Chain A
């Protein structure tokens, strides 16, 4: 982005940023609240918390890192990264859990 903006826009920019900050604080609070819910087991809680974290991350990445206003190019790089990251985590976990029954793991 190389176009200058008018002075007036700075204030509206600040207001937009404040809105994003409030949203981030809200999602954070939601995560903390979810972690203290008594009736869920850890796997369910972790799924909930991570889901909220992803929303939080999208807010930061999208608005604060201008990702929502970029063109396709960056998305492609990031999409590959996400895919490989998922591969790293998913396949590794699958591999380390997929032992035949009765295998000693400790």
Chain B
């Protein structure tokens, strides 16, 4: 509520909707998703609480037997109801995870290519579309509940459609690199790493979104690989980029560049080593949630089934484990760097990255109210080498050098 109300009502004078940094747009859509998607899960939580505390049967079907005996419950409920309510949030939730990350990556890329984002309007409309569509795709997590063909087709269609704005956002970010003066530093490394990793994660979501392919892939390690790719090298890399990027605004010091790069490269390599094999494991049929990949389960269900899972698939687990250790160790430089730099990092001014957005026009760290005086926005968010400004970059709130007719629109 706070973010939405602030963005709608309390933008600085001159900050029109289309002058907002993409990160703000991403947060705006995210806030809407959070506002409207969480309550059904809350409702499901209330119902579940009632089931546990008060012995209702919202999710328990009639004739439920527990321990060989008929359960002393009224029955009449439906586990499917839980699934619908859960996934109604569950799907928009993943867009809550990725949209702010995309916003961060966009800011870091614009800043470190010294040019505006390519296709700003497309980015904005795509973010809005993603937010809107995310509410009507949820049952693609439920293809195997036995729903009919027509409904599965509906959700499959909306799922395919939602991939379009996601691809648009990623494409715009890739294209933003074209012709830029790319400056490599730790935040930029993480932002650049985000792009192909989220690409892999997103593309591997497509077979999962198609009902026919999902029949095979559902509940296999392929799913685990897919969502870890979008969230781990996706969201988490973007968050790391954000931490390295905005650390100087919080503390007045930069984090150590060398160890930042060590953190990036080690994380990048190990992240891939952990999750890439899982695609293969999943396609070979290794199931989730059972430590032996469900070999014993399939042998018990299908008499005579042997060697359902090649030993080589299970052997990969050993390599994945080693890589996971490496991934964990790779975070140590980050944590040490973070705390050490608070006291001992290289001291910098208010705008060490020469950024154009007004978050860099505040004192460091920003006081209550953020700005020492109210900024007036006179240009777009990424005006590097702008014609109306002498310098290499033009902060959004700095008055133009020549006397242009910049009307302060609300």
Which B residues are CB-close (under 8 A) to A73? Answer: 8
- Give every chain A residue within 8 A of B84 (Cβ-Cβ): 92, 95-96
A88 within 8 A of B: yes
Tell yes or no: A69 within 8 A of B by CB. Answer: no
Q: How far in angstroms is the closest Cβ of chain B from A101? A: 9
Q: Which residues of B contact A84 (CB under 8 A)?
A: 36-37, 135
Stretch in B146-154, B291-299, B377-385 with 4+ CB within 8 Å of A = B146-154
The interface residues of chain B lying within 8 Å CB-to-CB of A80 are 32, 36, 132
A43 at the A/B interface (Cβ < 8 Å)?
A: no
Which one of A84, A94, A100 has the greatest number of beta carbons of chain B within 10 Å?
A84
Main secondary structure of the interface of A (DSSP, over half): helix
Residues A96 and B148 in contact, CB atoms below 8 Å apart: no
Contact of B147 among A81, A95, A106 (CB under 8 A): A95
Q: Is residue B122 within 8 Å, beta carbon to beta carbon, of the partner chain?
A: no
Q: How far is the CA of A88 from the CA of B40 in the complex (A)?
A: 9
For the complex, is A26 an interface residue (Cβ under 8 Å from B)?
no
**Of A88, A103, A106, most B-chain CB atoms within 10 Å:** A88
Q: Does B139 contact A (CB under 8 A)?
A: yes
- The chain B residues found within 8 Å of chain A, CB to CB, are 8, 32, 36-37, 40, 61-63, 78, 80-81, 84, 88, 132, 135-136, 139, 142, 146-151, 154-155
Docked pose: A100 CA to B62 CA in angstroms: 21
Q: Does the CB pair B136–A106 fall under 8 Å?
A: no
Contact code string A75-86 (vs B, CB < 8 Å = 1, else 0): 000001100100
Q: Assess A91 versus B36: contact at CB under 8 Å? Given A99-B146, A106-B63.
A: no
Residues of A within 8 A of B (CB): 73, 80-81, 84, 87-88, 91-92, 94-96, 98-100, 103, 106
Residues of chain B contacted by A88 (CB below 8 angstroms): 40, 88, 135
Tell me if B136 and A91 are in contact (CB < 8 A).
yes
Smallest CB gap from B4: residue in A: A77
Tally of A-B residue pairs with Cβ under 8 A?
Answer: 48
CB <8 Å contact, B36 and A81: yes
A99–B136 contact, CB under 8 A?
no
15 contacts between A and B (CB under 8 A): A80-B36, A84-B36, A84-B37, A88-B40, A88-B88, A91-B136, A91-B151, A92-B84, A95-B151, A96-B81, A98-B147, A98-B149, A99-B147, A103-B146, A106-B62
Minimum CB–CB distance for B167 against chain A, Å: 23
Residues of A within 8 A of B132 (CB): 80
- Nearest CB to that of B136 among chain A residues? A87
Q: Nearest residue in A to B131 (C-beta to C-beta)?
A: A80
Cα-based distance from A91 to B80 in the complex (angstroms): 13
Q: Considering residues B8, B80, B88, B151, which has the most beta carbons from chain A within 10 angstroms of its beta carbon?
A: B151
With A and B bound together, what is the CA distance between A92 and B149 in angstroms?
Answer: 14
Contact of B148 among A81, A91, A99, A106 (CB under 8 A): A99
- Measured CA separation A99–B152 after assembly (Å): 10
Which residues of chain B are within 8 angstroms of A100 by Cβ–Cβ distance? Answer: 146, 148-149
**A92→B145 CA distance, assembly (Å):** 13
- Which chain A residues border B40 with CB–CB below 8 Å? 88
Residue of B nearest to A105 (CB): B78
**CB-based contact A98/B151 at 8 Å:** yes
Cβ of A18 to closest chain B Cβ, rounded Å = 34
Knowing A81-B36, A87-B135, the reply to whether A96 touches B80 (Cβ < 8 A) is: yes
Contact partner of A94 (CB less than 8 A), chosen from B62, B78, B146, B151, is: B151
Specify the chain B residue showing the minimal Cβ separation from A81: B36
Q: How far is the CA of A103 from the CA of B148 in the complex (A)?
A: 10
In the assembled complex, the Cα of A98 lies from the Cα of B143 at a distance in Å of 12
Q: Least Cβ distance of B90 to chain A in Å?
A: 13
Q: Which residue of A lies closest to B43 (CB)?
A: A88
Smallest CB–CB gap between A67 and chain B, Å?
17
Residue of A nearest to B150 (CB): A98
Q: In angstroms, how far is the closest chain A Cβ from the Cβ of B145?
A: 8
Task: Known A-B contacts: A91-B139, A95-B84, A99-B148. Give 6 more (CB < 8 A).
Answer: A87-B136, A88-B88, A96-B84, A98-B149, A98-B150, A106-B63
Q: If the complex has contacts A80-B32, A106-B63, are A98 and B136 also in contact, measured as CB distance less than 8 A?
A: no
Which A residue sits closest to B9, measured CB to CB? Answer: A73
Residues of A within 8 A of B63 (CB): 106
Chain A residue contacts of B81, Cβ below 8 A: 92, 96
A98's partner among B37, B61, B78, B148 (CB-CB below 8 A) is B148
